[in-house]
Structure 1
Amino acid sequence: MSQETQKTLELEAALGFNGHVVSGLKVHPDQKHLVYPLGWTVIIKRITDGKQDFLHGHNNNVSCLSVSRSGQYIASGQVNFMGFKADIILWDFEQRSVYAQLCLHKAKVEALSFSPNNKYLVSLGGEDDGSVVVWNIETKQAVCGSPASAQSAGHCYTVKFSNQSDNIFVSAGSGTLRVWELDVPNRKIRPLECQTGKLKRIVKCVEITEDDGFVLCGTTSGDVLRVNMKTGLLSDCGPVKTKHSLGVTSLRLWSSGLLLVGSGSGSFSLCSSANFKTLKRVELEKGVTSIALGGHQFFVGTEAAQIYRFSYDDFKAELVSTSHSSAVKDVAIAHGVSELFATCSLEDVRLWHINKPKELLRITVPNMTCNAIDFMKDGHSIISAWNDGKIRVFAPSSGRLRTTLHNAHKLGVTAIAGAGDCRRIVSGGGGGQVRVWELQPNSHRLVASMKEHKDSVTCIRIKSDDRECVSASSDGACIIWDLHRFVSLQTVMANTFFQAVCYHPDEYQILTSGTDRKVTYWNVYDGSPIRELEGSQSGTVNAVHITQDGRHFVTGGDDKLVKVWDYMEGVVTHTGVAHGGSITSVKVCNGGRLVVSTSADGAVLCWKFPHAAVSS
């Protein structure tokens, strides 16, 4: 068989929302879709049924987003490495395709805004760039540009076009607030420096009144400035007494002179735009980063990767989307129940449904990190490994804590696997120990402790007959253990920190991956390497998992690519590009129909597995 041409892995669902992108959540003007970034991807999600479309084209994390007033275009900017240009992509919303690719800014695009009649797009570069550029949407060319702020001023954080004119926009930041006028014939933009008197503020967000009379500025000091756009003079400032905790991070003008204000502490307020007095307030989880207005409802995004819905009739928060906001450490598939899988992260374990990608259950352990999880084969327990040295066993239906194995490992529990008899657990620790535990009706006991590894255990897999298991470690060794005599049967060594290991379904071979960027096949009986593949061009291969028929396997790692391999040929058949962080875990599930991958940025992605399964 000749090497197949690499194809693109099709993304089925994305469980995640990057709440750290300021104003990253938008309601499309058709009032039917939400638009938001996740990693390298822009997601268009239908509000009624959650159906998702994906816009692929960026080669690094999306850093800002804007939707044109007509809804015809979406603009997204990205970050890039120092010394490289950061792209802006203009998307055609109806076609879900790239309309134009714009490239001038260095390292990062900080903010984007469309002019009211779709004529222009204004873009703001990041701290290493510091320029503001106006683009002609029809010609797909830059009209003109300028440094965003005066030399004496600090970094600029936001930019926004006026509501009435295609030639007026505002930029704001640390000690800088400017009203710009575009002079198209002379290809220039001219700034009016706004004067705030003795008030020295860092502005993070702006909102312009419908008649373009005033610009409202949310500051890190927790107050809102009102500045006259024509004169550039400070008109008002408030609230005077009770400022918004941890600064104003998001602002939107509502009808009838009302103002929606989000703060860095998570408080979300309805205020009077006349005197900035708070009329209603709700507390959300972590800082508010986006407020998106849409029809009879509006949506709020937070740093906790949560999306809340509010109706205009009342001011009550309804949580409509939730996901991990920090690195996902592991993913586990429920045995025999192909529709369920679990993920673990800082402070929590979450249970998901594959066909309707939504969170079914969340188990929270405050101030702790869950390093690894597994389902017992009978489906009655989720076993989890925690950095406080404990193994916690939960009921998957209710999330109730069934039992805790205290002091399981001194330096934290780093790997875990459940035996097929549903009575034994094999765990690995930060100190290199591999331990076998027996669960009893109302207690547990340590059956054996095996110590040959010299560094933390990163992965454990148990053979289908429960007679053996294999452990991978950062010490460069994978050890196959006899689970009856509790001795090592075979050791494989390599010049790498092993990150993942799995048995081939026939169980005469194991696959390993690690920091040497290799995927290696090993013979179980004599520990000899059979085959070595270049798993990645750059970075560690953190995860490897093989299909039930043994014909294909999947990998993921620091290169942020999900790869599907032909086992016999040793070639990549399909590559999935969407993750914005290092891939931490990857599993084939749903009877070989889906691949679930997780990453360090909190994303959980479901991919359509491209090969038909062969029944044994």
Structure 2
Amino acid sequence: MKNSLLLLALLLTSSFSNPPSGKSYELYLTQIAAAEAYLQLNLISAAKSYLDACPEKFRGVEWHFLNAFLDQSDMTLPAPEGQVYNCIQVSPDGRKVAVGASDSTVTIFSFPDWKMSGKWRGHKASVSTLDFSEDGKKLVSGGRDHTVIVWDVETGQKLWENSQSFSQGIYQVRFGPGDRQIGVVSWERRSAEPWVMGFAKVLDAASGEEIQKIETEAHPAAGVVFTDGGKSLVVSCWGEVVTSYELGSGSVQWKYDLSSYEEYNAFHSIDLSPDGRTILLGAADFRVHVLESASGKLLRRIEPWEGHTKLIKAVAWSRDGKWFATAGDDQTILVWDASDYSKKYSLIGHTQTVAGLAWSDDGKALCSVSADGTLKVWDMEHPFGVAYEICDFGPWQVPVTPDGRFFAAPCSDKKMIVYDIRSGLPHIDLGPVSGLCGDLSADGKYLATSSFDGIVRLWDLENRKEIKAFEGHSARVDGVAYLNLTNQVLSVGDTTLRIWSPDAQPRVVPLPAKPFRIVLHPDETKVYISFSDKTVRSFSTENWQEIATWSLNADLQEMKISPDGNTLAAFCGKNIELWNTHSGKRKQILSSHEKSGYGIGFSPDGRYLISGSYDQTFKLWDLSKGRCTLTFHGFGDTVYSAQFINERGILIGSAQGRMRGFGW
């Protein structure tokens, strides 16, 4: 797919370099397509340039979606002109953030208001690494000036510096447990082979005096953590080896050695979990290596196909150990669930290498610094995009509550659950019941579902229980609707329409053919039913008599009605047919998908339509112009469901239970 996107990007770039005369709408759509193509290639800066060039008068939902996608951060703080932030740390109490910069300064900000409270000068070259002491009273910094400095956090005064122990740049500094020692890694040139030697040094945290030197290997040492309560030192190197040393004796306790592999596996980043049991390593092989700190045993290796596509420069655990973040040359920050190593968020916004990561003390924010000259803050409570898995087969329809916070998920799996859209966590578990379709009452209090067994169910979501199971259909039921005017459930199956009430016998309306889907007009005076003979028929909800019949061009997979009730959208084959509900005439056919699909939905104002297809894309359509304004790629599965959850949010689902939500 990436080769196709590259070709598309080049073609669009060519068309952009010779644009149509004037800032036309056609040019705008070309710019949108170019921005999306470059986004999929992870060329964020190029994508932004095309998006920024879009004329303001044309900017619609597609532009605002891409604009939010291209920078998902909550806040951006640029470094002074010509400078770059290299490293970042948050104090133990979460109230201060220290940032090391290329202009040799350390800047202190208050958090979360980001007011600068100090700028410390002491280094003579770029500051490359920082670490707060456990009590938060001291900060240690290391730089390319071969110097380690310890600062008083309260006053900003330099307590001591050590430059005599180092002849090359400092790669990482780290306070040990109890703040008694500081681990430092660097390298030195030698007059005999090996010409380069990496090493770790342990300094006295009070005086800066060198306590111990441990030579590692013939490559720079790049990362260091204390383990086993400060009894051991784990050092990672560019020479593809991670080694645990016993402090004092310097004896090797274990090695994690990748030097025999054909590819280059230098380790560029390291962090220790809060409980001290697990080590994260970011490597030049584009992988995240997860080790047991006591033994060096490999617990998990996150491969490029599931994680990063370039060298990993930064890794960081959250304070509670539930999450960890990784980042590097591919400009993307990935956030992982530490319990199962599943990827939770992909954070896009930086346009160059991400060099440093730091979590807030409560885990609600993640901070990052990049070679693009910015510091960014990411809201972990309300990220732009979320992804999660809810079942193995389905959901086949995704009714969303009126407040846009939850959705019901009728799946073939034996479970009926209402999920939180933002977290993906179960909100209401209704029990081991499968489902084919569903519809919510207007107030979100009741849910109607049906399944393969022909049983229609009505659920009370406030009390989390089934009100009644309606039996009578002789085959699977593919369509249900909740009639708010009478608090009844409508269902279509076999060759009947049935109107169910919890306390009365159902009304059975014979139908002329096998039905599939059913939707209500917003005023609920009419209902629309699709049939296997490629027709949609409308019926009066007063007497259940047929009103009109519309002939479709292909079999219908899904249909939705606009909020104002004027337009019915029918996904038929690869096309979407738009029908005027008053005249019964086809208004337009939207053609652009390469395969058929089931996902379809209107925006709250009715101006836009979203569609999802087996071609692994979703599309946005501006109905006021009758144009596809965005084709969004990047899905590894078919897009089975696609809908707006509010004016600034969409929910996408696959037929394998994978859900993705976006809010901007």
Normalising by the residue count of structure 1, what TM-score does the alignment of the two structures yield?
Answer: 0.48
Whichever structure has more strand as a proportion of its residues is 1
Normalising by the residue count of structure 2, what TM-score does the alignment of the two structures yield?
Answer: 0.45
Whichever structure has more helix as a proportion of its residues is 2
Q: Which has the larger radius of gyration?
A: 2
Task: Tell me: higher relative CO, structure 1 or 2? Use CA pairs within 8 A at least 6 residues apart.
Answer: 1
